[in-house]
Amino acid sequence: MEMLNIRVIKKFLNTQGQVSCVALLLSIVTFLSVIVASFVTEQISTFINEAAAGSDDFYIAVKVIDGDTIEVENNGQRLKIRYIGVDTPESVKPDSPVECYGQEAKEFNKSLVLGKKIRVESDVTDTDKYGRKLRYVYLEDGRMVNEILLEEGYARLLTIPPNVKYVDKLREAEKKARENERGLWVKCSQ
């Protein structure tokens, strides 16, 4: 009987040892699965966020053409961008004189973006009839250049449907400039 008890105990210990080993392996696999799943989830989230923002939406402004048009570059790709929703006085239009506040608008635009990292956002229409990309432009701090130009009185609102995503915001910025007699609203005759 004693011999039977020893065998039963040994069998029990071996079974318990195997169960413990299997439980330990399952715990390790579960732990690693959680770590891998967390890493994969983070990578997928990063990919989705970059895709949503448009991974190529970040550029360096390399040239300011006038108050509402710039050239940008990203990884050797150079684009000409025309700000959506604004119209600044002309400063470089061929066969045309420089308009009132045109040079000031260009210089202000230059102070905002030249040499800086910017983010761009499209609306419905991708390009204008001159092949320029139509975009809302944002500084690194998140402020919209289109809105700043209007609010500081360097531009007038120019709404061309269907690109009206931020028309209310831009209209309000122009209203502030007019009410506070900023920039072209006080310097130039309407």
On whether the pTM is more than 0.75, the answer is no
The answer to whether 135 and 151 are in contact (CB under 8 A) is no
Domain boundaries, the chain: 1-52, 58-187
Would you tell me how many other CB atoms lie within 10 Å of the CB of residue 5?
9
Q: 178 catalytic, yes or no?
A: no
Both tokens assigned to 85: 């929703």
| Residue of 90, 151, 152, 174 marked active site | 90
Q: What is the pLDDT of residue 189?
A: 75
What type of residue is 18? Q
In what helix (H) or strand (E) does residue 157 lie, and over which residues does it extend?
A: strand 156-157
Per the annotation, the verdict on 90 as an active-site residue is yes
Q: Which of 7, 42, 78, 82 is catalytic?
A: 82
Query: What is the tens place of the pLDDT at every residue in 99-141?
Result: 999 999 999 999 999 999 999 999 999 999 999 999 999 999 9
Distances (CA, A) of 23 to 26, 28, 29: 5, 9, 10
Distance CA 33, CA 187 (A): 67
Residue-level pLDDT at 134: 97
First to last CA, the chain: 113
Tell me the pLDDT tens digit for each residue of 75-89.
889 999 999 999 999
Please, what CATH class does the domain formed by 58-187 belong to?
mainly beta
The three-state secondary structure class of 73 is strand
Between 72 and 92, whose confidence is greater?
72
In the residue annotation, 119 being an active-site residue is answered as no
Residue 33, pLDDT > 90, answer no
Tokens of 162: 């269907």
